[in-house]
Chains A and B, each alone.
Chain A
Amino acid sequence: MRSAIGVLMLAFAGLALADDPAFELAIRDHRFFPSEIAVPAGQRIKLVVKNEDATPEEFESKQLNREKVVPGKSQATIFVGPLKPGEYSFVGEYHEKTAIGKLVAR
Chain B
Amino acid sequence: MLGTAVIVFRETLEAALIVTIVLAATRGIQRRGAWIGAGVAAGLCGAFAMAGAAEAIAGSFEGMGQELFNAGVLLAAVAMLGWHHLWMAEHGRSLALELRKMTDAVRGGGRTLVALSLAVGLAVLREGAETVLFLQGLATTEPTRDIVVGLALGAGAGAVIGTLLYFGLVRIPVRHFFRVTGWLIVALAAGLAAQSARFLEQANVLPALASAVWDTSSLLTESSLPGQLLHVLVGYTARPSGLQLVFYAVTLVTLIVAARRLHGASVSGPRMSRAA
Contacts and interface: CB of A to CB of B under 8 A. Distances in A.
A2 B240 CA distance: 31
Contacts of A57: 137
Given A79-B203, A84-B212, A93-B7, A69 B58 contact: yes
B58 A76 contact: yes
A58 B58 contact: no
B211 interface: yes
Contact of A74 (B7, B55, B204, B217): B55
A96 interface: yes
A72 B133 CA distance: 11
Contact of B217 (A63, A68, A69): A63
A10 interface: no
A92 to B, nearest CB: 10
A62 B223 contact: yes
A58 B202 contact: no
A15 B207 contact: yes
Interface string B117-136: 00000000000001001101
B130 A69 contact: yes
A71 B58 contact: yes
Interface residues of B, number: 36
Nearest to B207: A15
Interface string A67-106: 1111110101111111110000000011011000000000
A71 B202 contact: no
A58 B221 CA distance: 19
A11 interface: yes
Contacts of B208: 44, 81-82
B223 A68 contact: no
B146 interface: no
Contacts of B237: 65
Contacts of B239: 63, 65
A82 B133 contact: no
A78 B237 CA distance: 19
Interface stretch (B59-67, B79-87, B265-273): B59-67
Nearest to A14: B207
B204 A71 contact: no
Interface in B169-199: 198
A62 B137 contact: no
B260 to A, nearest CB: 28
A94 B202 contact: no
A51 B124 CA distance: 26
Contact of B63 (A77, A84, A93, A94): A77
A94 B138 contact: yes
Nearest to B204: A79
Nearest to B205: A15
Given A62-B222, A63-B217, A81 B207 contact: no
Contact of A58 (B63, B130, B222): B130
Contact of A94 (B7, B201, B217, B223): B7
19 contacts: A56-B136, A62-B238, A65-B237, A66-B202, A68-B66, A69-B54, A71-B54, A71-B58, A74-B55, A74-B59, A79-B201, A79-B202, A82-B208, A83-B211, A83-B212, A94-B7, A94-B133, A94-B137, A96-B3
Interface of B: 3, 7, 54-55, 58-59, 63-64, 66-67, 130, 133-134, 136-138, 140, 198, 201-204, 207-208, 211-212, 217, 221-223, 237-241, 244
